[in-house]
């Protein structure tokens, strides 16, 4: 799927972006939808504006339905791979043999073809699942499955970032560039982003989504597809740093997660336990290190 968003031509365009046949060749929904809202207290008529689309996305592994997430219909192949890796459904990108993105009447189906070993793991995890959730603990049915330490140690922070001045400079550059590298956010004001940054803070990859977890999963999937060395930089996100965001970053082998907003206590404890550097309130040339 293309990394550019499809913009409808006007307010009369179908909001679902599909035709009436709903077959496998139907177009996928657009990432942005044009609307004409009523502005209360305004002194002029409302202009046309864009809002972000939010679509149910079903992840199916070798025909087995595992989860339904709400996501922006963009970079879905990256999302499929990143979600599968950070949820522990794949041991490596090589376990994903193929992925097809299919439009459905009520959403999108991501049909993943995975190795037999991964299929067996999925069947084992589904035996006692009572339901699904759109949160970061999707597919988890007991407390023992919540905390999943990385299979490999979190790498150390690159030497270029060990000095406080260099770290602050890199974090500040990353957040400054990230604010200018979010086309969906600039059009809607309601989108999260996750970026992979070099040791100097330069943005290398950016992914956007209505969900902060989805944006990070898309980024991790894109990095895996491109063969990016996750130890040579850090991730920056436009959200708070929650437990599952920290866990996803650690499982992806990132040495640091930098968030524009606050962390939770569980996120701090998890980062400390696995050796991930965690920075919060990264803005205006300052940051707070929590782990």
Query: Pick the catalytic residue: 5, 135, 138, 197?
Result: 135
- Catalytic annotation present for 135: yes
Task: State whether residue 179 is helix, strand or coil.
Answer: helix
From residue 107, alpha-carbon distances to 18, 77, 104, 133 in Å are: 10, 15, 5, 16
Residue 148 annotated as lining a ligand binding site: no
Residue 147 annotated as lining a ligand binding site: no
* C-alpha–C-alpha distance, residues 63 and 53, integer Å: 26
Q: Give one DSSP letter per residue of 209-244, joined into a string.
A: ESSHHHHHHHHHHHHHHHT--TTSSEEEESS-B-HH
Residue 44 annotated as lining a ligand binding site: no
Q: Give one DSSP letter per residue of 28-80, joined into a string.
A: PPPSEEEE----TT-SSPPPPEEEE--EEEEEEETTEEEEEEEE-SSSHHHHH
Is 17:155 a contact under the CB 8 Å cutoff? no
Residue 24 annotated as lining a ligand binding site: no
Residue 20 annotated as lining a ligand binding site: no
**Within a 10 A sphere around the Cβ of 39, how many other Cβ atoms?**
11
Residue 283 annotated as lining a ligand binding site: yes
Binding residues: 281-286
Q: Which residues are catalytic?
A: 135
């Amino acid at each position: 799927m293309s990394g550019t968003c499809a913009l409808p031509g006007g307010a009369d365009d179908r909001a679902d972006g599909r035709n009436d046949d709903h077959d496998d060749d139907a177009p996928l929904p657009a990432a942005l939808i044009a609307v004409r809202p009523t502005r209360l207290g305004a002194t002029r008529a409302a202009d046309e504006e864009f809002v972000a689309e939010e679509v149910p996305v079903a992840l199916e592994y070798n025909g087995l339905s595992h989860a339904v997430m709400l996501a922006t219909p963009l970079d879905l192949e990256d999302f499929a791979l990143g979600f599968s890796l950070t949820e522990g459904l794949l041991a490596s990108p090589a376990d994903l043999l193929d992925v097809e993105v299919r439009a459905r009447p009520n959403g999108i189906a991501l049909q993943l073809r995975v190795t037999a070993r991964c299929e067996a793991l999925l069947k084992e995890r589904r035996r006692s699942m009572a339901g699904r959730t759109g949160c970061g603990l999707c597919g988890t049915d007991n407390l023992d499955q919540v905390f999943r330490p990385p299979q490999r140690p979190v790498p150390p922070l690159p030497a270029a970032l060990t000095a406080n001045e260099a770290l602050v400079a890199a974090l500040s550059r990353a957040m400054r560039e990230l604010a200018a590298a979010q086309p969906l956010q600039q059009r809607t004001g309601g989108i999260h982003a996750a970026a992979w940054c070099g040791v100097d803070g330069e943005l290398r990859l950016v992914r956007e989504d209505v969900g902060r977890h989805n944006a990070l999963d898309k980024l991790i999937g894109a990095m895996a597809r491109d063969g990016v060395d996750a130890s040579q930089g850090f991730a920056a996100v436009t959200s708070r740093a929650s437990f599952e965001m920290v866990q996803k970053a650690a499982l992806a082998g990132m040495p640091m997660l930098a968030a524009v907003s606050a962390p939770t206590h569980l996120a701090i404890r998890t980062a400390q336990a696995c050796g991930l550097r965690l920075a919060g309130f990264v803005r205006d040339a300052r940051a707070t290190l929590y782990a």
